[in-house]
Amino acid sequence: MRVSEIFASVQGEGPSLGVPAVFLRLAQCNLSCLWCDTKYAWSVGEDVPVDRVVEEILTLLRTYSKIKLVVITGGEPLLQRDDVRELIVRLKEKIEYVEVEVETNCTIDPSSVLEVVDRLIVSPKLANSGMPEDLRKCSTRFKDLPDSMKSKVYLKFVIEDARDLSEVEEIVRFFGVSSSSVFLMPQASSIEELTERLKVVVDLAMKTGFRVSDRLQVAGGFR
Ligand code: SF4
């Protein structure tokens, strides 16, 4: 699989915010969002056999023996969904307590990975990403998911201002998930932007019942 980096840190966003984790960042993406904070992963990567990736993750999990979460992120991990599925299955064979969450931009059929993952963090891109609508629209496979799959899905939206809300609500209706599975997160690459846009996000959350996600990696300056 095409790998950008493997490292241990703390999940900075979304439903597992604050949880220590081993991160596998896969290279390549099918989008090129204006404010992407991992542009280096679009092209920089190394081809690594799945077995070796599993071993590198296990080495980190042994080094940090209290970590129980593995996050597969990108880039867009589902561009390599067959390898991602195989990796999750092999990891869970080796360490049964490990939980795996995969992050995706919503554009690719998630079915095979949803069967084996614990959480799928779906971050549909809004107009503020600068991507044309036809490129960023969600895979139709996300509609009418059975409850057993839907319960694994969390939505995470990057918000610039209050005008983003109508797009968010349309996508939430498409997914049919409850507001407790929806996170609004400020678009921010600096502490100043984070502080300013958190106020917008908090205001929208109070009006909608959606949840707020901070971005610890921006606030703390870590990856
Ligand atoms: S989908 Fe994610 S990784 Fe890809 S360009 Fe957009 S923000 Fe970056």
CATH number at residue 156: 3.20.20.70
Cβ of 38 less than 6 Å from ligand 1: yes
Average pLDDT rounded to a whole number, residues 129-140: 98
Centre of ligand 1 to C-alpha 158, Å, is 11
Centre of ligand 1 to C-alpha 93, Å, is 30
pTM assigned to the model: 0.96
As a whole number, the mean pLDDT across the chain is 96
pLDDT band, very low/low/confident/very high, at 220 (cuts 50, 70, 90)? confident
Centre of ligand 1 to C-alpha 19, Å, is 22
CA distance 175 to 91: 29
Average pLDDT rounded to a whole number, residues 60-77: 97
Predicted local distance difference test score (pLDDT) of residue 138: 98
Average pLDDT rounded to a whole number, residues 57-85: 98
Residue 169 is inside which H or E element, if any?
Answer: helix 165-175
Predicted local distance difference test score (pLDDT) of residue 51: 97
Predicted local distance difference test score (pLDDT) of residue 223: 82
Range of 12's domain? Answer: 2-220
Predicted local distance difference test score (pLDDT) of residue 5: 97
Average pLDDT rounded to a whole number, residues 202-214: 97
**Nearest ligand 1 atom to alpha carbon 105:** 1
Average pLDDT rounded to a whole number, residues 171-195: 96
Nearest-CA residue for ligand 1 atom 3 is: 75
Average pLDDT rounded to a whole number, residues 106-123: 98
**Nearest ligand 1 atom to alpha carbon 30:** 4
Cβ of 12 less than 6 Å from ligand 1: no
Nearest-CA residue for ligand 1 atom 8 is: 36
Share of the chain above pLDDT 90, in %: 96
**Nearest ligand 1 atom to alpha carbon 75:** 3
Nearest-CA residue for ligand 1 atom 5 is: 32
CA-based angle 25:4:69, to the nearest 5?
25
Predicted local distance difference test score (pLDDT) of residue 219: 87
Q: Which residues contact 69 (CB under 8 A, 6 or more apart)?
A: 11, 16, 19, 20, 21, 22, 98, 99, 100, 101
CA distance 100 to 88: 7
How many domains does the chain fold into?
Answer: 1
CA distance 53 to 3: 8
Pick from 154, 131, 128, 130: which is nearest to 142 by CA?
154
Helix (H, G, I), strand (E, B) or coil at 103: strand
Q: Would the pLDDT of 222 be above 90?
A: no
Predicted local distance difference test score (pLDDT) of residue 142: 96
Average pLDDT rounded to a whole number, residues 91-98: 95
**Exposure letters 74-103 (e unless 16+ CB within 10 A, then b):** bbbbbbbbebbbbbbebbbeeeeebebbbb
Centre of ligand 1 to C-alpha 34, Å, is 9
